[in-house]
Copies of this chain bind each other. A is one copy, B any other.
Amino acid sequence: MTELPEGWEARNQPPTLFRRFEFERYSGTRNFLDALAALAEETGLHPQNINFSSTYVNITLDASQEGGLSEAEFGLATRINLLYEQTEN
């Protein structure tokens, strides 16, 4: 490979966990987002990316440790699954 072009930086990106959550109507989406916000406040853990529209929420969790995905992300994903099961749709 040739030399890095001037001024550019090579960056590695961590692996991620991704899930799409779907809802019948906006009220369900809203309830789920509220529950996610409460979870973040309680735990201090925030998904790296939340992308939503009226009837879905896509969530991406980045690996927080060098070695890749760990219990930290798996535990948060499991808690988010519980919120989804408990959400009034």
Binding site for B on A (CB under 8 A): 1-2, 4-19, 60, 69-71, 74, 77-78, 81
Which of B8, B13, B18, B70 contacts A9 (CB under 8 A)?
B18
Given known contacts A7-B81, A8-B77, is B13 in contact with A69 (CB within 8 Å)? no
Chain B residues whose CB sits within 8 angstroms of the CB of A5 once the complex forms = 17, 74, 77-78, 81
Chain B residues whose CB sits within 8 angstroms of the CB of A70 once the complex forms = 1
CA distance A74 to B5 in the complex (A): 6
Number of copies of this chain in the oligomer?
2
Whether the Cβ atoms of B15 and A9 lie closer than 8 Å is no
Task: Return the chain B residue nearest A60 by Cβ.
Answer: B11
CA distance A71 to B3 in the complex (A): 10
Closest 8 CB pairs of A and B: A13-B13, A5-B77, A8-B19, A5-B78, A11-B16, A12-B15, A8-B17, A8-B77
